[in-house]
Structure 1
Amino acid sequence: MIRIGILGCAEIAFRRFLPALMENKEFECVCIAEEYDKSKLEQFEKEFGIKSAENFQAIIEDENIDAVYIPLPPALHFPYAKAALEHGKHVFVEKPSTISYEQTSELVEIAKQRNLVLQENYMFQYHAQIAEIRKLLKEGLVGDIRLMKASFGFPLRAANDFRYNKALGGGALLDAAGYVTKLARLMLGSTVKVDTATLNGLEGYEVDMYGSATYSNEEGDVLQGSFSMDSYYQCCLEVWGNKGKAFTKRIFTAPPGYTPILELETNEGKQQIELPEDAHFAHSIEKFAEAFGNDTLRMNMYDDLLIQARMVEDIRGFNRNKV
């Protein structure tokens, strides 16, 4: 049994993480702590029966706890993940892992030295639709691929949302762009790189609010990505080939019980292909547990963390003097 503690009463912990965790027999959620709005603790205790700890440090120092889940704003990931790793805890951290390549690299080094799991929760990568789409494309669904496009964006949220707070690690680059970047890694492989990128701000906001990036690999395959935090909702992947075009609209956020549809257009007409229903958050938690005893999986997670952080850093580099 893996005993886990939660640092922070975030919405994603309440809506997604804990419902999935409670279904997994390998875990026991021991406690939760909140340091910024302790009134939230009551809701978690009532819904899930979780005891509350005095503060984050109490969970980190508890020798009876094996792992921590960190759903805090991005700028707080590094100090608490570092402290947890240094106290021998495995870490399941919400995306992005940190706000810089330097910070992520330091966490990876600590985790490696101590043989600890360090997982960044881009859960959509574990949805069965990803594997199915890649399989269909490899089988020639649209012929030879000419271009891939991915978009992830959503309307404005409440003004006090951490995504608009620079000090807390806000901005589209560290939020929506991370999803597109991770998908580029999945579709283009380990040689993926950022060719160019742009970040844009909006009047009244201190962070980047939307942007785009172009990714490619050694084989010359290309994915164009766009991301936004003030837009009409988009969550899609399009693949254009010499024999057709495929499109799906819930590539990042397909919930349990939802059947994704891949729309195919060819010279023969249009077709809708049902993709598998799945529960990607549950699978992400399963991967976390699996990595405890799987050295290869742990090492792959370290590599993926560094590739993701490097690409995010590269996007920032293209816009160093802009936003």
Structure 2
Amino acid sequence: MVRGAAPLRIGVLGCAEIARRRMLPAFAAYPGTHLAAVAGRDPERARATAEPYGARPVHGYRNLLAMDDIDAVYVPLPAALHHTWAEAALHAGKHVLAEKPLTTDARATARLLGLAEERGLALAENTMFVHHPQHTAVRELLDAGAIGELRSFRAEFTVPRFPADDIRLQPELGGGALWDTGVYPVRAALHLLGPELEAVGAVLTEDPAHGVDTHGAALLRTPSGVTAHLTFGLDHGYASVYELCGSRGRLTLDRAFTPPAGHPPLLRTETREGRRELRLDPFDQVTAAVAAFTEAATTGTPPDPAVLHQARLLAAVRDLAHTPDPTTAPRPRS
């Protein structure tokens, strides 16, 4: 945050669980932000959500966007609604922090990024894990040759089953494993392997009871041939891990995506010389995400291009998963 700058006045569009559990406490605690208002379709729920922080409850999202004393908005709505309300907020002159994915369409993501740059506004996707220094430590070990030349990357993010009426199981709201948990390993691959990744294979398994994909896998590769094997799901035992395999050994990081603020990260390397462990200090990635957004809004930092790279990879994964395999098609009769 720029020294001497007034706190960024935050309005929240919606009363989602992630907003109540993680982001509202972070906005309220961080000195660079002031949690000013919370909007909801239900006035009573907006009041109950805003009251603990002394924020103003607002009935309706557009009423909040019309407020002159709001500098930026946080959008924790279902994925299918991110584009509509992020675009409306940008047109209203507000900086935007939206939950991931920013949109469920790569072209819509590109348009939003262009609109934000055109209007000189910050636009960020709330991918909190990229702000955690444990990934910087991983990169430093790779650069130092701790496991030799990198050959492959494997990442997994899976969570247990949600209740049947959960928004993540509703297709009209942008539900499905790819949008909810697939974002994490895809972004991690981009973060560590670079923007030239391309998708070469994918599988999405749909739950016919809900009409959304509940688990899937993707295979990506870099131009130099490093592969990324990604797994994600909404009906699994919990897993939040990635592993990098090199010519001399492997490096593993558990609790890679959603470590609690008090969790001391542990990086493990295994080579012929033996096994080594590097313990890091605990770190609050939620506060770090709020700080990064505040910095972008107060300094005019343009949107991170990784957001668009990620959107294009997610689109490619979806397209590959829905493309029929010609080897399994019925053979024409002779």
TM-score higher than 0.5:
yes
Q: Does 1:27 align with 2:27?
A: no
User: Which residue does the alignment assign to 1:312?
Assistant: 314
Q: Which residue of 2 aligns with 1:144?
A: 149
2:29 counterpart letter in structure 1: E
Aligned twin of 2:256? 251
- Kindly indicate whether the alpha-carbon contact (under 8 Å) linking 2:177 and 2:216 is maintained by their aligned counterparts in 1: yes
Q: Does 1:160 align with 2:159?
A: no
Deviation at 1:212, TM superposition (A): 0.8
Q: Secondary structure at the match of 1:136?
A: helix
* Paired letter, 2:21: R
Is 1:65 the equivalent of 2:67?
no
Q: Give the alignment partner of residue 302 of structure 2, picking from 298, 305, 315.
A: 298
2:4 aligned partner: none
Q: How does 1:77-116 map to 2 (within 5 A)?
A: 77-116=82-121
Aligned 8 A contact 1:129 1:276 in 2: no
In structure 1, C-alpha distance between the alignment counterparts of 2:237 and 2:71, rounded to whole Å: 41
Change (3 A) 1:293 1:3: closer
TM-score, normalization: structure 1?
0.94
For the aligned residue pairs, the C-alpha RMSD in angstroms reads 1.5
User: 1:138, 1:154 → 2: CA distance?
Assistant: 32
The amino acid across from 1:310 in the alignment is: R
2:185 to 180, 183, 193: 180
Q: What secondary structure is seen at the aligned counterpart in 1 of 2:93?
A: coil
1:267 aligns with: 272
Same amino acid, percent of matched pairs: 34
Cα separation, 2, equivalents of 1:275 and 1:193: 32
Deviations 1:36-95 (A, max 9, x none): x54433442343222201211111111221110000000111111111101111100000
TM-score w.r.t. the length of structure 2 is 0.91
Q: Aligned equivalents of 1:210 and 1:28: distance in 2?
A: 38
Q: Decide which of 219, 225, 243 is 1:214's aligned counterpart.
A: 219
CA contact (8 A) 1:99 1:174 kept: yes
The question of whether the paired residues in 1 share the 8 Å contact of 2:43 and 2:57 is answered with no
Provide the residue aligned with 1:17 in structure 2.
Answer: 23
Cα distance in 1 for partners of 2:91, 2:139 equals: 38
Cα distance in structure 2, aligned partners of 1:240 and 1:206: 36
Three-state SS of the structure 1 residue aligned to 2:178 is coil
CA distance in 2 between counterparts of 1:142 and 1:305 reads 29
Instruction: Find the aligned partners of 1:244 and 1:52 in 2 and give their Cα distance.
Output: 54
Shift of 1:99: 1.2
